Amino acid sequence: MKKDTAILLLFIVLLGKAETRAQDELARQYEYACLLMQKGNYYDAVTEFKRLLFFDMRNKYKFVANSRLGECYKQGAKYADAVFYLNVALQNSPGNKERLIMKKEIIKVNILRRSFDNALQQIYELEKDTTSGFAEEADYWRGWTYIFEDDWEKAAECFSKKQDWQELKKICVETDKHKYSVTMAKLLSVFLPGSGQFYTGNYMSGIMSVGWNFLWGYISVNSLIENRVFDGLMTANFLLLRFYLGNVQNAEKFAENRNLEITNKALNYLQNNFNGEKP
């Protein structure tokens, strides 16, 4: 009897040890995959997370591995895949806290992939859910959505709602202040050829636009005055009009290019130098 009990106990111990080893190996696999991720080998990290999920028979790592997969794909700018895996992680979230984190991650990915309607809709839905605790930071993420949408004025409005967000508000206000008005540039060039280019700081282009427009304008008017109507109309249509429209187009293009430079400068700062939470 004693012998049989001893044998049974031995069997149970052996079984338990094997199970523990299995779980240890999964943990080691998870750590290895995370290490690859930390080193920036995202493609290989994805492979190892997928391996972990394949061998994780009890789905112990389903949430955390899928969330890591979403993070890896986000780093590689594979946003469709990122959203897919984050959604799987969301469906397997163990609790409300994790659910909120995953929903926020999905919002961040939608901001990065510039799906602004999706991001704003998700922010709104999450804000409505009073149990999530997201309401306090809804405007923060709304602000980030507007930043990526290049609407710095609206972004500044969102960030002005809390004291902690003043740094971002300041950046948005400054960026908006430095931007050129495309409409103003076009209007200036409509009324005075070359002035739109001066407004955007492209002085050489402005001077040459002034020159060409006044030259062809003078020739056209002079031809009409001297009753050379056909010559006047040809010069006005093929030369004056061409350079006039070109001047307006250039004013618009230069204003847009300058604005793009200003936006990218701000975005670059936010990406590399801003330490707060960001997409």
Partner 1 sequence: MKYLLTALLLTASVFAQTDWEKWNKKENPYLIEKNSASRDYSLAGKNAVDAAAKIVIMGYWFFISDLDGDNCPFAPTCSAFLLQSVKETNILKGTLMFGDRFLRDANVFNRDAHYYVVKNNRHYDPVANYMLDKEKVKSFFDKYPDYSK
Partner 2 sequence: MKSYCFLLLLIAASIVHGQDTVQYNIFHSPSNIRLFADDLFCKHDYLRSVDEYENYLKMVNSDTVKIKIGYSYLYMEKSKEAGLKLKPEIDNPVLEHAALKGYCRSLFMDENYCELKNVNDKYGLTFPAVAKLNAFAGLMPDMELSKDKTDFMKNFGNDEYGSISGFYEKASNPRYASPLKAALLSAVIPGAGKIYAGQTSDGIISAAITGLFAFLAYDNFHASHKFRAWLFTGIGSFFYSSTVYGSAAQAVIHNAEVDYKFTIELKSFLAGVNYFMGKDPEFCK
Footprint on this chain of partner 2 (rule: CB under 8 A): 3-4, 7-8, 10-11, 14-15, 17-19, 21-22, 24-26, 29, 47, 50-51, 54-55, 57
| Closest to partner 1 by CB, 69 or 120 | 69
- Least Cβ distance, residue 4 to partner 2 (angstroms): 7
Task: Confirm or reject binding of residue 237 to partner 1 (CB under 8 A).
Answer: no
Cα 147 from Cα 153, distance rounded (Å): 9
Contact status, residue 102 vs residue 88, Cβ threshold 8 Å:
no
209, 220, 223, 235: residue in contact with partner 1 (rule CB under 8 A)? 209
166, 181, 183, 271: residue in contact with partner 1 (rule CB under 8 A)? 271
Which amino acid appears at position 2 of this protein? K
The greatest distance separating any two alpha carbons of the chain, rounded to the nearest whole angstrom, comes to 130
Exposure of 45 in the CB half-sphere (CA atoms within 13 A): 23
Judged by beta carbon distances under 5 to 8 A according to partner kind, the member of partner 1, partner 2, none in contact with residue 27 is: none
184, 208, 215, 221: residue in contact with partner 1 (rule CB under 8 A)? 208
- Least Cβ distance, residue 29 to partner 2 (angstroms): 6
Cα 258 from Cα 197, distance rounded (Å): 11
Residue 78 backbone phi and psi in degrees, to 5: -100, 75
| Closest to partner 1 by CB, 82 or 89 | 82
Contact status, residue 109 vs residue 83, Cβ threshold 8 Å:
yes
38, 80, 191, 227: residue in contact with partner 1 (rule CB under 8 A)? 80
Task: Confirm or reject binding of residue 43 to partner 1 (CB under 8 A).
Answer: yes
Kindly list the distances between the CA atom of residue 219 and the CA atoms of 65, 226, 230, 234, in Å, as whole numbers in the listed order.
Answer: 74, 10, 12, 11
Exposure of 278 in the CB half-sphere (CA atoms within 13 A): 15
Cα 64 from Cα 20, distance rounded (Å): 20
Task: Confirm or reject binding of residue 257 to partner 1 (CB under 8 A).
Answer: yes
Residues lying near partner 1 in the complex (CB under 8 A) are found at 40, 42-43, 46, 75-78, 80-81, 112, 148, 150, 205, 208-209, 212, 242-243, 245-247, 249-250, 253, 257, 260, 263-264, 267-268, 270-271, 279
